[in-house]
């Protein structure tokens, strides 16, 4: 199929903006799937948080179908690597490894499509746009929600989720050279009239159990120093396991709200990102806004990938006519 974006003798450049949204960001896969099958290929991609993951995978040469299959086959219970919550509950090592596989271990210079990934530099207190170096590391920085993931150290600087400063990097893709900008809006759903609500679902319950087990192990290491005599350590570990055996603790805490802080952080981040994104869409020059309607789906529905992808496809098909007209200007 011929590419449709021309302007006189110069081909119009299409820039695609993929924003934040946790699991809701999986709609990006559906959007890219429709564009791909229609022979409309982005010339530039800018992404934040989950949008950075999807954009990086596509820019690395993965097809949307390939990305969807990998996400579908991901056991989301095994991407968490809990740590003592000093700077975050999750180390992020496991998810970075998953991202590295998804982007085929590429560097930005090796990507098929120019990509920029947005994060926040805590050290310099400014927004950054990664366009060189290790893609997986940059994406890991872009999705590091403060308080949930530990910050990412690159060089002498620490980085966190770009969604706190630019959840929808429209200007970034314009600066890259885009003539036509397509934005995927995975933020406030006007039909719901409110920001997403996090429900206590099976996946969160499983993460809760994993968190308890991991924290008990960390607590055991803290309470029983390694330099103590072996016989003392063995006795104390036996007592610890007898009193605080993980399965017993999980049973004792059944039905107890275990994740108030991460949920609070997520809700605060979602509210802030929604507000920033809304301002971006009001005040930025955007040619096409693709707006899925999430109904009862929210940002923690990681096991409903096929539904998010289908919503993205439906929303993109509704905007194909407008996009083609913009690309023919």
pLDDT of res. 20: 86
CA neighbor of 299 nearest in space, from 170, 204, 183: 204
At 188, list the tokens: 């406030």
Angstrom distance (rounded) from CA 275 to CA 149: 22
Structure tokens at 320: 């194909």
**Residue 289: its pLDDT value, please?**
95
CB of 205 closer than 8 Å to CB of 85:
no
Nearest CA to 31 among 186, 179, 220, 160?
186
Which tens digits make up the pLDDT trace of 135-186? Answer: 999 999 998 887 677 888 999 999 988 888 899 999 999 999 999 999 999 8
Q: Which two tokens stand for residue 100?
A: 């590295």
The Cα 184–Cα 84 span in angstroms is 35
User: What pLDDT is attached to residue 222?
Assistant: 57
- Surface-to-core class of residue 89, CB atoms within 10 Å of its CB (0-12 exposed, 13-18 middle, 19+ buried): buried
Active site residues: 49, 161
Of residues 24, 12, 48, 13, the one with CA closest to residue 304: 24
The residue assigned the tokens 């590091």 is: 144
Beta strands 126-130 and 147-149 are: unpaired
Q: Which of 157, 184, 201 is nearest to 297 (CA)?
A: 201
Low-confidence ranges of the chain (pLDDT < 50): 1-2, 6, 84, 191-201, 203-204, 207, 211-212, 216, 240, 243-259
Q: Which two tokens stand for residue 245?
A: 């055996």
Q: Are 183 and 289 in contact (CB under 8 A)?
A: yes
What element of type H or E holds 99? helix 93-102
Residue of 31, 25, 112, 12 whose CA lies nearest to 317: 31
Q: Tell me, what's the pLDDT at 253?
A: 42
Query: pLDDT value at position 213?
Result: 52
Q: What are phi and psi of 249, to 5 degrees?
A: -65, -45
Q: What are the distances in angstroms from CA 327 to CA 172, 234, 286? A: 19, 70, 13
- Does the pTM surpass 0.85? The reply is no
């Amino acid at each position: 199929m011929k590419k449709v974006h021309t302007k006189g003798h110069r081909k119009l450049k299409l820039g695609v903006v993929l924003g934040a949204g946790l699991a809701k960001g999986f709609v990006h896969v559906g959007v890219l799937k429709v564009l791909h099958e229609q022979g409309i290929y982005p010339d530039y991609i800018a992404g934040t948080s989950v949008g950075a993951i999807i954009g990086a995978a596509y820019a690395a040469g993965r097809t949307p179908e390939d990305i969807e299959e990998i996400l579908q086959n991901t056991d989301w219970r095994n991407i968490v690597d809990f740590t003592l919550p000093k700077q975050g509950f999750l180390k992020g090592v496991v998810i970075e490894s998953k991202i590295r596989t998804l982007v085929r271990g590429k560097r930005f210079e090796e990507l098929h499509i120019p990509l920029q990934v947005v994060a926040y530099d805590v050290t310099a207190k400014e927004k950054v746009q990664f366009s060189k170096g290790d893609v997986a590391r940059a994406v890991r920085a872009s999705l590091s929600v403060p308080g949930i993931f530990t910050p990412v150290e690159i060089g002498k600087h620490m980085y966190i989720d770009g969604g706190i400063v630019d959840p929808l990097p429209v200007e970034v893709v314009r600066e890259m050279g885009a003539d036509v900008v397509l934005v995927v809006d995975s933020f406030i759903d006007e039909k719901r009239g409110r920001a997403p609500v996090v429900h206590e679902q099976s996946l969160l319950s499983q993460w809760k159990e994993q968190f308890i087990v991991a924290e008990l192990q960390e607590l055991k290491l803290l309470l029983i120093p390694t330099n103590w005599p072996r016989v003392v350590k063995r006795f104390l570990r036996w007592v610890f396991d007898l009193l605080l055996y993980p399965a017993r603790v999980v049973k004792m805490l059944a039905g107890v709200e275990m994740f108030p802080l991460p949920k609070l952080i997520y809700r605060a981040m979602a509210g802030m990102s929604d507000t920033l994104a809304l301002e971006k869409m009001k005040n930025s020059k955007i040619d096409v806004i693709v707006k899925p309607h999430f109904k009862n789906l929210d940002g923690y529905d990681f096991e409903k990938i096929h539904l998010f992808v289908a919503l993205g496809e439906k929303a993109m098909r509704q905007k194909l006519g407008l996009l083609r007209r913009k690309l023919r200007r």
